[in-house]
Structure 1
Amino acid sequence: MSRWPVEPAPGEATPAPFGMSQYCVADPAQHAPDRPALVVVHSGPGDESTWTFAQVDDTVRAVAAGLLGLGLQRGDRVLLRMGNRAEFPFVFFGAIAAGLVAVPTSAQLTGEEAAGLLADSGAQVVALDEDLPLSVPPHIPRITAQTIAEWIAGDERAEHDVGHPDRAAFITYTSGTTGRPKGVTHAHRSAWGRRPMYRGWYGLTEGDVMVHAGALNWTYTLGVGLTDPWANAATAVVHDGPTDRLLWPRLVEAYDATHLAAVPGVYRHLLRHGDPAHWDLSSLRAALVAGEALPSPLWREWTETTGVALYESLGMSEVSTFVSSGPEVPVRPGSPGRAQPGRRIAVLDPDRLEDPTPLPVGESGRLAVHRDDPGVMLGYWRRPEENRQVMRGEWFVTNDLASLDVDGYLTYHGRCDDVITAMGYRISPVEVEDALCQIAGVAEVAVAPLDVGDGVTLVCAWVVPTQPPGDTATIRERVLTRAGERLADYKRPREVRVVEALPRTANGKIVRRDLPATPGGGERADE
């Protein structure tokens, strides 16, 4: 089968041998060496750095050679603690090209949070920006921007690692109900497992231009913004300059973008604060949205105002996206769409997960993805019990509740655990509660999502004071200060409500779903 043109077939098997960096970097470099692969916009259009596919390939192989020169062995982990800049994807793919396992982390994490991931992953090397806090043990080498520049300037280049499709390529960390982030281990085959998205969600083809509104060090950007465009010999455009939430239409116009990818909040902000009458989106074939549910009113407003299709997808760190609307799947407001071509999904009885028989049409249950899907993770890093909980026979069983209609369209009914999805991030309430314990004047704290309208969900903390509420402003300030000290920005409560008591079951367990109805006073934190 010819690699070009890229024509995914439903249910196609991952070729063997296979290499993720070979597929995403080397192949397009050989096919279209002089085509722009990566455009990193700094202050705005016209102020950018551009790499062709040949240059990306050379840079990735230089980083791979440098990593191997440190004496690392296949399967060793490389933790990335870097900001929003081009070196991040170069180290990510460089580690994979070397046969190592990349461990990307968010720059928003505190030094303590990042140290926890370093310890859990057992990383043997850390790629570190000097302005990001992290205590690295003396025996673990550090890679800096200067190190990377020296490797690129040198003569050593490694060949792309290829082998069994099931060998580990990267680990991403996601929140869970235990409060301790867990590593999601993905195989090299995960890049091939994204192929159903090309037609099922994007309508992406060779030579297209993808603008992604996320930071380079976000896994959403690494996947939708880089991995998939590069695998199709398409151009990726990202932004690493000062925050400008109205920038995206200008980038679409300046770079003739065919696709724009973002979370719902980006589109909402553009419509509320931008001037659509002055946007030139004529090159844009589709806008893409993921990270959290797309409210139907926002879909209608965007499509009616801009005339550009807005396609939603449903996915997770463990599988990427697997349900979506797209050019070949008409949008049905209120549904993220249908299973992408070749994906096998089912809704299972929550009380009989060992029974592989899907529930009838219309019945709500646990959403599951068949384990023969190459996009399904290898498993949680060093979490055998949690692996047993989700790997049930032939199915990977999610914590999402859903139902399917007669046409295969999915209706999402929320999560059966307490993990919060806010602003495109998954956040463990237990982790936030642990960070907010032992605050003077606070007896108890519980954290849950709060719907504030217009499809916006915030992290909210309900606080029980040690004495009857008096100076609630002081309590609120203490909670927000502690959150700022211990939590990444996206995990911090945006609202604090002081209450007399927390809702509980007869056995004393906090009922988080009842928190939003709990009377109490509070204010929104400045955003």
Structure 2
Amino acid sequence: MERLIKPAATYSEIYDNFRWNLPERCNIAHQICDRHAEDPDKIALIHHVGADVRTYTFREIQQRANQFANVLTGLGLNQGDRLMVLLPQHPITAISHVGGWKAGLITVPTSILFGVDGLEYRLNNAEIRAVVTDQANLPKVLEAKALAPSLEHVFVIDGSPEGGALPFHETLNKASDQFTTLMFSPDTPALINYTSGTTGWPKGTLHGHQVLFGHLPGAEVLFDLYPQPGDKMWSPADWAWMGGLGNTLLCGWNYGTPILVFPMAGFDPELTMRMMGEHSIRNAFLTPTMMKLLKPYASLIDAHNVRLRSIISGSEAVGRDLLTSMLEMFKATINEGFGQTEANLTLGNCSGLNHYRIGSLGTPLPGHKASIRDDDGNELPVGEVGNLCFKHPDPVMLLEYWRNPEATAGKFIGDWLISGDLASKDEDGFYWFHGRADDVITSSGYRIGPTEIEDAIIRHPAVSMAAAIGVPHPERTEIIRAYVTLLPGHEPSDALADEIRQSVRDRLAKHEYPREIRFVDSLPMTTTGKVLRRELRAQAKSE
């Protein structure tokens, strides 16, 4: 499959020569499925469950998606209606999205980790008309359905449906596998992806069919000049959020790359290594949290013949030490990138062309423009910390927050989208993350981002993970408190706290070390694996 970015000797040439060339009419389903289905033997997906391994061709995905599109339209769903997909990574998850897009529906990927309240909020906010789920999640769907008048149809992919739900497979078996995919202008709505809720209630981020094209140059760069012969992709990142759906499923299938799917209860490093080796995975998207958990299992790389070619990492700052250790472990290209629900894959590093800075967010990826600006929209000079912003229009950028014009307007300063992250730009044009704008700690007149502190804490050999917040202080406004989880074999103690505190003080400025350290068994996380510092702040405030 031909790349969008053209070969060049330097990254600057690639970036300067890139131009968007969006089709006049398009559909994500056509781009990632129908085109490849012309070859009846082309493998789309490998589903490994227990001892069973089932492969799906693009032709099979297309036929099943066609049946689902016929079912949806036969039930009276029309272009623009919303379809919630409440499933883990699974072949039916992909089929549901492709079928919905074929019929012009707006799909709403939703994490199975949400409880009834979270589902009820999304069902009503997006006025969902149909849901695809499984037996494990059916009870909470039915409970939420009682409070969601728009929801008419619930499909269940396994077991015996109850509460009026429809059996997915039996229903599709009665439908024709022929369907002409509807084609639209690139800005026609295709999906609503809800924000992870690090600040207030989640907002529905509405994206058009163009969002697929917006991801592609970033994927080509970050997956080390992807695609290449033999590439095969896997990520544990949930397809319910833009990182998992966009970085792997959409980008992978756009280029006809086979994708591995297997169930995993929580992140299992040993199973991860075995599966990556057994299926010859070459490309992976791994968050920093996942890489931290893989770190103690380096010996399994050779034991399972793991031979990754390229890794994307992101969602939180990776940190120099973690990135260095992962490079030593996997001997693969690791490119740290940046993206968010509203505008994914916008910054990144390109190791393949020697264009990178370890620990940085990178520079703007081809087709995207970035800037550091103050709260009034003025561009800040090199080295100053400010709002990380991206230039509109951009195909990867949200169309709007779903039915929330006030929030949409508040997301922009003129033509610049405010990411909500604080960053700085160095003299070479590389961007450096300093923390979420709402996570800033103000202490003794200093504005301190938590990421650098956390990165320093986890360098300690006893530490697994850390989160830093500011807690009120009568003299300093705030002091830094760190919540720390320990690796197996280490026990909390005052002596260990002093040791960690001193190690941070030695590495960072004197005003940046945590005066308080709390040892905890776990940290509150979003469904996307980000630490919820606001929950820690709320806890500290209540104390």
Residues 329 and 281 of structure 1, relative CA distance in 2, 3 Å threshold:
farther
Shift, 1:119, TM fit: 0.9
Residues 172 and 346 of structure 1, relative CA distance in 2, 3 Å threshold:
same
Matched letter for residue 58 of structure 1:
Q
Who is 1:143 aligned against? 155
The reply on whether 1:167 has 2:188 as its aligned counterpart is yes
Aligned mates of 1:92, 1:294 — CA distance in 2: 31
Who is 2:367 aligned against? 342
Who is 2:356 aligned against? 331
Matched letter for residue 37 of structure 1:
A
Asked if the contact 2:89–2:263 (Cα under 8 Å) also holds between the matched residues in 1, the reply is: yes
Count of residues in Structure 1 that have an aligned counterpart in Structure 2: 441
Shift, 1:273, TM fit: 3.5
Structure 2 residue matching 1:194: 3-state secondary structure: helix
**Identity over aligned pairs, percent:** 25
For structure 1, list consecutive stretches of 5 or more residues without a partner in the other structure. Answer: 421-447, 464-494, 496-513
- Residue number among 91, 96, 99 corresponding to 2:104 in the alignment: 99
Aligned mates of 2:431, 2:81 — CA distance in 1: 39
Asked if the contact 1:88–1:217 (Cα under 8 Å) also holds between the matched residues in 2, the reply is: no
The reply on whether 1:305 has 2:326 as its aligned counterpart is no
Residues 517 and 121 of structure 1, relative CA distance in 2, 3 Å threshold:
same
Shift, 1:520, TM fit: 8.1
Who is 2:409 aligned against? 388
- Residue number among 432, 436, 440 corresponding to 1:415 in the alignment: 436
Over aligned residues, Cα RMSD in angstroms? Answer: 3.0
Residues 250 and 80 of structure 1, relative CA distance in 2, 3 Å threshold:
same
Asked if the contact 2:241–2:341 (Cα under 8 Å) also holds between the matched residues in 1, the reply is: no
Who is 2:386 aligned against? 365
Asked if the contact 1:175–1:419 (Cα under 8 Å) also holds between the matched residues in 2, the reply is: no
Who is 1:220 aligned against? 243
Structure 2 residue matching 1:246: 3-state secondary structure: helix
Asked if the contact 1:19–1:162 (Cα under 8 Å) also holds between the matched residues in 2, the reply is: yes
Asked if the contact 2:90–2:261 (Cα under 8 Å) also holds between the matched residues in 1, the reply is: no
Residues 112 and 516 of structure 1, relative CA distance in 2, 3 Å threshold:
farther
Asked if the contact 1:42–1:241 (Cα under 8 Å) also holds between the matched residues in 2, the reply is: no
Using the TM superposition, name which of 276-285 and 166-175 deviates more.
276-285
Shift, 1:99, TM fit: 0.1
State TM-score, norm by structure 2. Answer: 0.74
Aligned mates of 1:170, 1:524 — CA distance in 2: 36
Aligned mates of 1:368, 1:283 — CA distance in 2: 36
Aligned mates of 2:171, 2:353 — CA distance in 1: 44
The reply on whether 1:6 has 2:3 as its aligned counterpart is yes
Residue-by-residue CA offset, 1:397-451 (whole Å, 9 max, x unaligned): 211111222322111111112499xxxxxxxxxxxxxxxxxxxxxxxxxxx9994
Shift, 1:78, TM fit: 0.9
Shift, 1:35, TM fit: 1.8
- Residue number among 176, 188, 210 corresponding to 2:233 in the alignment: 210
Structure 2 residue matching 1:278: 3-state secondary structure: helix
Residues 101 and 72 of structure 1, relative CA distance in 2, 3 Å threshold:
same
Residues 384 and 209 of structure 1, relative CA distance in 2, 3 Å threshold:
same
Shift, 1:6, TM fit: 3.4
Who is 1:122 aligned against? 127
The reply on whether 1:87 has 2:92 as its aligned counterpart is yes
Aligned mates of 2:469, 2:424 — CA distance in 1: 28
Aligned mates of 1:521, 1:377 — CA distance in 2: 39
Residues 158 and 460 of structure 1, relative CA distance in 2, 3 Å threshold:
farther
Shift, 1:296, TM fit: 0.8
Alignment of 1:459-498 (within 5 A): none
Aligned mates of 2:285, 2:169 — CA distance in 1: 30
Matched letter for residue 53 of structure 1:
F
- Residue number among 268, 273, 286 corresponding to 1:262 in the alignment: 286
The reply on whether 1:375 has 2:372 as its aligned counterpart is no
The reply on whether 1:24 has 2:32 as its aligned counterpart is yes
- Residue number among 217, 229, 238 corresponding to 2:252 in the alignment: 229
Who is 2:502 aligned against? none
- Residue number among 74, 90, 106 corresponding to 1:69 in the alignment: 74
Asked if the contact 2:71–2:175 (Cα under 8 Å) also holds between the matched residues in 1, the reply is: no
Asked if the contact 1:192–1:374 (Cα under 8 Å) also holds between the matched residues in 2, the reply is: yes
The one of the two structures with greater contact order (alpha-carbon pairs below 8 A, sep at least 6) is 1
Aligned mates of 1:329, 1:94 — CA distance in 2: 41
Asked if the contact 1:204–1:232 (Cα under 8 Å) also holds between the matched residues in 2, the reply is: no
Residues 184 and 518 of structure 1, relative CA distance in 2, 3 Å threshold:
farther
Aligned mates of 1:329, 1:210 — CA distance in 2: 23
Residue-by-residue CA offset, 1:49-71 (whole Å, 9 max, x unaligned): 21111111112222111111110
- Residue number among 346, 371, 374 corresponding to 1:322 in the alignment: 346
Who is 1:438 aligned against? none
Who is 1:33 aligned against? 40
After TM superposition, the runs of 4+ consecutive aligned structure 1 residues lying more than 6 A away are 459-463
Asked if the contact 1:206–1:232 (Cα under 8 Å) also holds between the matched residues in 2, the reply is: no
Aligned mates of 2:356, 2:305 — CA distance in 1: 20
Matched letter for residue 33 of structure 1:
P
Shift, 1:155, TM fit: 4.1
Aligned mates of 2:326, 2:199 — CA distance in 1: 38
Aligned mates of 2:204, 2:513 — CA distance in 1: 31
Shift, 1:206, TM fit: 5.9
Who is 1:192 aligned against? 213
For structure 2, list consecutive stretches of 5 or more residues without a partner in the other structure. Answer: 7-17, 158-165, 442-449, 473-491, 493-510, 525-543
Aligned mates of 1:521, 1:265 — CA distance in 2: 20
Aligned mates of 1:70, 1:329 — CA distance in 2: 54
Who is 2:465 aligned against? 456
Shift, 1:178, TM fit: 5.4
Aligned mates of 1:418, 1:66 — CA distance in 2: 46
Structure 1 residue matching 2:270: 3-state secondary structure: coil
Aligned mates of 1:521, 1:60 — CA distance in 2: 50
Residue-by-residue CA offset, 1:353-377 (whole Å, 9 max, x unaligned): 2x5xx32222222111111211001
Aligned mates of 1:290, 1:161 — CA distance in 2: 34
Asked if the contact 2:186–2:208 (Cα under 8 Å) also holds between the matched residues in 1, the reply is: yes
State TM-score, norm by structure 1. Answer: 0.77
Aligned mates of 1:221, 1:201 — CA distance in 2: 14
Structure 2 residue matching 1:162: 3-state secondary structure: coil
Structure 1 residue matching 2:182: 3-state secondary structure: coil
Shift, 1:461, TM fit: 12
Aligned mates of 2:88, 2:329 — CA distance in 1: 35
Residues 329 and 213 of structure 1, relative CA distance in 2, 3 Å threshold:
farther
Aligned mates of 2:348, 2:248 — CA distance in 1: 17
Residues 172 and 457 of structure 1, relative CA distance in 2, 3 Å threshold:
farther
Aligned mates of 2:300, 2:385 — CA distance in 1: 39
Aligned mates of 1:387, 1:329 — CA distance in 2: 37
Residues 521 and 215 of structure 1, relative CA distance in 2, 3 Å threshold:
closer
Shift, 1:126, TM fit: 1.8
Aligned mates of 1:33, 1:6 — CA distance in 2: 23
Asked if the contact 1:36–1:53 (Cα under 8 Å) also holds between the matched residues in 2, the reply is: yes
Matched letter for residue 348 of structure 2:
S
Who is 2:521 aligned against? 524
Residues 525 and 250 of structure 1, relative CA distance in 2, 3 Å threshold:
closer
Structure 1 residue matching 2:410: 3-state secondary structure: helix
Aligned mates of 1:419, 1:34 — CA distance in 2: 52
Residues 125 and 460 of structure 1, relative CA distance in 2, 3 Å threshold:
farther
Asked if the contact 1:210–1:257 (Cα under 8 Å) also holds between the matched residues in 2, the reply is: yes
Alignment of 1:419-458 (within 5 A): 451=454, 453-454=458-459, 456-458=465-467
